[in-house]
Amino acid sequence: MITDYSQTLIVQEVSPRDGLQIEPTWVETADKIALINQLSLAGFSRIEAGSFVSPKAIPALRDGEQVFTGIERQPGVIYVALIPNLKGAQRALEAGADELNLVMSASQTHNMANMRMRCEDSMAAFGDIVSFASGSGVRLNGSVATTFGCPFEGQIDEDRVLQIVDAYQELGIAGITLADTTGMANPRQVDRLVRRVLQRVSAADLTLHFHNTRGLGLCNVLAAYEAGARRFDAALGGLGGCPFAPGASGNICTEDLVNLCDEIGIHTGIDLPLLLKLSRGLPDLLGHEVPGQLAKAGRNCDLHPIPT
């Protein structure tokens, strides 16, 4: 149980990338830019603004260059790009990305489905990216997909995850993300693994990325926070999901997470009213309702008139 609520919880917004990548309806480039510009005013230190993958693999994000060159950058906000390979890294740097997020799976099967290569080949390719980015001033982050379970292989051995973390660090990649790609994590599992990873990685360099597929997303955030984690990815409206993982659904919802923190006294520095305004505009933008709860129910302080 959490006994110290004084440590700031840092929310990193991923809806422009992870949130939109699975959307069946094309979101216009201008609308993506407008969304990122509004999110940039909400208090986030990091926004994952897009990816530089093959347009055949993720057609919804084929406009990465236009998005990164079109946004109005705010001081203190790091704009992150997800990249799969050296070509993606080259495109991202040319477009002005501040940070490159590299991804490989702890699961061999999922890595083949997602990256079309074996895990060891992914890690070898990352070495080329590190060499290319060296001296550019761009920060690198290494994500471990399917950290807490794989839809093809089931549970992932913790030592396997730690091996990948060590391999990232040996390449000189400081930032580490543990990603619950298909929402298979539970709080006890999260607590145990986060404590082990924090023996290798500082809290400032560790991010947790949870999905709410089985309704445990915010429970897992609290478990990770209690274990010492301080950085968390989330997506406006609870958007998102991995197109290469059967049954995957949305990320934990940003406004729901910020509301939870507000309610229990954990500081985030995020503008919740602005998030609610943006979230309530998503159905018109996307053509469907979104999973987030707070935008529908309102905050506890949003009282209704007394019936007459």
Nearby residues of 179 by Cβ (< 8 Å), 6 or more positions away: 103, 143, 144, 145, 146, 147, 209
Q: Which of 119, 242, 253, 261 is catalytic?
A: 242
What gap in Å lies between CA 250 and CA 224, rounded to an integer?
Answer: 19
Residue 242 known to be catalytic: yes
Alpha-carbon distance of 229 to 77, in angstroms, equals: 20
- By C-alpha distance, which of 172, 180, 245 is closest to 205? 172
Ramachandran class of 35: left when φ > 0, alpha when ψ lies in -120 to 50, beta otherwise? alpha
* Measured distance CA(138)–CA(94) in Å, rounded: 12
Question: What is the C-alpha to C-alpha distance for residues 258 and 10, in angstroms, rounded to an integer?
Answer: 10
Strand ranges in 173-253 using DSSP code E only, listed in sequence order: 175-179, 206-209, 231-234
Catalytic residue set = 242
